[in-house]
Amino acid sequence: MEINNTTATAAYPAYPSPPASSISTLAFPPVVVASPCAACRVLRRKCTDKCVLAPYFPPMDPLKFTSAHKVFGASNISKLLQELPECHRADAVSSMVYEANARIRDPVYGCAGAICQLQKQVSQLQTQLAKAKAELLNMQTQRANLVAIVCMETAHSQAQILQDSSANPHMIHPNNDGFIDDSSNLGSVWEPLWT
């Protein structure tokens, strides 16, 4: 039996075990498993703390880097980002990703094709807007002409009524609330009723 004990102690050196009370208070540093950024994962390299690409290509979105890498190349992307101040890097990355996706969709024109299409659409909309403004101006002019005609006809009809009323004083005047003048010839019609 002693032979087994000596071989066991020779194979495993004896370490003093901590007392049971100190095991519960023993603090282990937290294990941080940092996931490499999408760029380092695609390129299969170790992602360091000073990785320029890590803030802009998170590990959960590898397609973002893959499309940019396919068009621009990893070294060109990292060179461009190192040349820019940090405040402009996020915009540069989003622009590169957009341009890369556009180039993958349309290898001939890239994002220039989308820009031309949008410019055509703007031109068409400006033409439609100009037509609508011209039509609105035409309708406003027609309305103003109609209002002027109605005003002229109203003034003419009022002048005609005044002219007729001055020529025939026995006519009912619109300004006397519809009462018949006592001096008119209709008085003879009322006489039999009173007698």
| 25's tokens | 């208070």
| 165's tokens | 């009323």
- Contact in structure between 77 and 69 (CB atoms under 8 Å): yes
C-alpha to C-alpha distances, 164 to 38, 48, 150, nearest whole angstrom = 96, 104, 21
Residue 57 neighbours by CB distance under 10 Å: 24
pLDDT of the chain along its 195 residues, tens only? Answer: 444 444 444 444 444 444 555 444 444 444 344 688 888 988 899 988 889 898 889 889 889 999 999 999 999 999 999 999 999 999 999 999 999 999 999 999 998 998 999 999 999 999 999 999 999 999 999 999 999 999 998 888 888 888 777 766 655 555 555 555 555 555 555 555 555
3-state secondary structure of 149: helix
3-state secondary structure of 185: coil
How much is the pLDDT for 159?
82
How much is the pLDDT for 32?
41
Closest CA to 53 of 93, 84, 91, 20: 93
- Per-residue b/e over 106-120, b at no fewer than 16 CB within 10 Å? eeeebbeeeeeeeee
How much is the pLDDT for 25?
47
- Contact in structure between 62 and 41 (CB atoms under 8 Å): yes
How much is the pLDDT for 139?
96
